[in-house]
Amino acid sequence: MKQPALTTLLILLLMPMNSQGDETYRAAKQYALERDGCGLDHGYNCVQQQEDDFIGIESDQRMVPGNYLKAWQLAVADFLEIEDIEPTQKDLKHYKFGFTESGDHYIVHFQALLLPEITEGEVTATIRGTYGLTMRYWINKRSMVIDKRLFYKT
């Protein structure tokens, strides 16, 4: 797929937002960059883990159809090649992912995690800001080619 051209204006509009102020955003971003070793949720908190939790019908963890993962491979490969995104923003730990489909497309959604609010070194809430970029891909079911990539303002 040809890379969709991203203009400087579009990139500026899509950069992660930080409505709580620069210092709060810097502290939250630093915390997010250092956080690792578990499945992360909004606020960069570790999600509750239980082995085989994905098997239960009422589980927050889900089984994913194989064709969605074929679409996922295409979306991730494209995402990692976007030159206008900082390398650290491409770390998949900054995202949750959703999968669905329409009549002609598999849809892969990259949901950027909300940053944590840090008070006295502890996470107390989330702020309206992200480090990653929320975006969505539409992959044609027949050709398995990316038809559209859309960035969302967070």
Order the strands of the 105-112 sheet from edge to edge. Answer: 95-101, 105-112, 135-140, 146-151
Positive or negative, the CA dihedral 134, 139, 145, 146 is negative
Mean pLDDT across the chain, nearest whole number?
79
Percent of the chain with pLDDT over 70: 75
d(CA 86, CA 34): 16
Say which range, 1-10, 64-73, 136-145, has the weakest mean pLDDT: 1-10
φ and ψ of 97, to 5 deg: -125, 140
Task: Dump pLDDT digits (tens) for 35-61.
Answer: 776 777 777 777 766 666 666 666 656
Model confidence band, residue 130 (pLDDT cutoffs 50, 70, 90): confident
Nearest Cα to Cα of residue 113 among 46, 20, 23: 46
Per-residue pLDDT at 144? 97
d(CA 82, CA 117): 29
Rg (CA), the chain: 17
φ and ψ of 98, to 5 deg: -125, 150
For residue 119, pLDDT beyond 50:
yes
Per-residue pLDDT at 1? 45
Q: Is the pTM of this model over 0.95?
A: no
Residue 66 in tokens: 């194989």
Task: Dump pLDDT digits (tens) for 57-102.
Answer: 666 567 788 999 999 999 999 999 999 899 999 999 989 999 999 9
